[in-house]
């Protein structure tokens, strides 16, 4: 089935040790998003790609970086994780609403990041 | 900043009862979406309602939109234990296609 896949589902890293989370999609959607979600809070958009164009949210810390080597894959790099970065990280995709007329986002199952 | 705010924050009901969740927003919108999130999982799209629509149905779900009050409601009829989840509204405004999510309503349906 076409879907959004995130690996790993659970990631434990040490304070200050770089970590990479991955996302892949078989939907061939041109827009991909990374969200951070803490307990009982709204998903917070970190950045998104429109094709290869990278769009960073103004309040996303420099500690967070992203790469999208091709349509299918997108990575979230946390260069020096702090305790406050422990959260669920959600990847999502969508079609270009300008051509599809739809705005629905398709989410992966998330990666739960623990920082020790 | 968040656009939508869900109310109530938590809702606990018995199986078979109806569940109503509300979403209020501050600025004019293009459309409003409702998503469900099961514990520890990603969000799943439920329904989208456009600013020129007043009501939409999908199975046991009914969504209304009142643009004059800047509010929307999600009604789940004849709830089931499997409906236990968090429900988020998300709005898009202006020229943006990026939805802004509210904090969500946590729904517990007791069998």
Residues of A in Cβ contact (< 8 Å) with B33: 103-104
Q: Indicate the DSSP class of residue B92.
A: E
Chain A neighbors of B35, CB-CB under 8 A: 105
DSSP 8-state code for residue B9: S
Is B103's CB within 8 Å of A41's CB? yes
Q: Which residues in chain B land under pLDDT 70?
A: 1-3
Within B8-94, strands assigned E span 10-14, 19-25, 31-37, 43-50, 55-58, 61-66, 71-76, 85-92
- Identify the DSSP state of A62: T
Which of A108, A98, A42 lies closest to A76, judged by CA? A108
- Residue A100 in this model has a pLDDT that exceeds 90: no
Q: How far apart are CA A19 and CA A67, in angstroms?
A: 13
Q: To the nearest whole number, what is the mean pLDDT of chain A?
A: 93
With an 8 Å Cβ cutoff, the interface of chain A facing chain B consists of 4, 6, 31, 33, 40-43, 45, 48, 88, 90, 92, 94, 97-98, 102-110, 112
Q: Hunting for tokens 């969740």 — which residue is that? A: B21
- Average pLDDT of the residues in A50-65: 93
Q: Nearest-CA neighbor of A77 among A27, A28, A29, A13?
A: A13
Evaluate the omega torsion of the peptide bond into residue A112 and state whether it is cis, within 30 degrees of 0.
no
Give the per-residue pLDDT at A32.
Answer: 96
Picking from B43, B97, B103, the nearest residue to A97 by CB comes out as B97
Count the residues in chain B.
111
Q: C-alpha distances in angstroms, B92 versus A19, B2, B27, B100?
A: 32, 11, 10, 6
Q: What is the mean pLDDT of residues A49-54?
A: 94
* Contact assignment for B33 to A103 by CB distance below 8 Å: yes
């Amino acid at each position: 089935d076409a879907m959004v896949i995130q690996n790993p589902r659970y990631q434990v890293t040490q304070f200050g040790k770089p970590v990479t989370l991955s996302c892949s999609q078989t939907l061939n959607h041109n827009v991909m998003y990374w969200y951070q979600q803490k307990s009982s809070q709204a998903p917070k958009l970190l950045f998104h790609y429109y094709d290869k164009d990278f769009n960073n949210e103004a309040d996303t810390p420099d500690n967070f970086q992203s790469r999208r080597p091709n349509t299918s894959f997108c990575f979230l790099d946390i260069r020096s994780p702090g305790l406050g970065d422990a959260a669920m990280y959600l990847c999502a995709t969508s079609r270009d609403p300008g051509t599809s007329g739809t705005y629905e986002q398709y989410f992966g199952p998330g990666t739960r990041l623990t920082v020790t | 900043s968040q656009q939508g705010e869900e109310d109530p924050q938590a809702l606990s009901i018995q199986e078979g009862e109806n569940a109503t969740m509300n979403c209020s927003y501050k600025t004019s919108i293009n459309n409003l979406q409702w998503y469900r999130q099961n514990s520890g999982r990603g969000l799943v799209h439920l329904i989208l309602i456009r600013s020129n629509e007043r009501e939409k149905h999908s199975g046991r779900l009914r969504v209304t939109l009142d643009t004059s009050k800047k509010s929307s409601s999600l009604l789940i009829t004849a709830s089931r234990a499997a409906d236990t989840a968090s429900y988020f509204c998300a709005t898009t405004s202006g020229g943006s296609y990026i939805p802004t999510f509210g904090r969500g309503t946590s729904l517990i349906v007791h069998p």
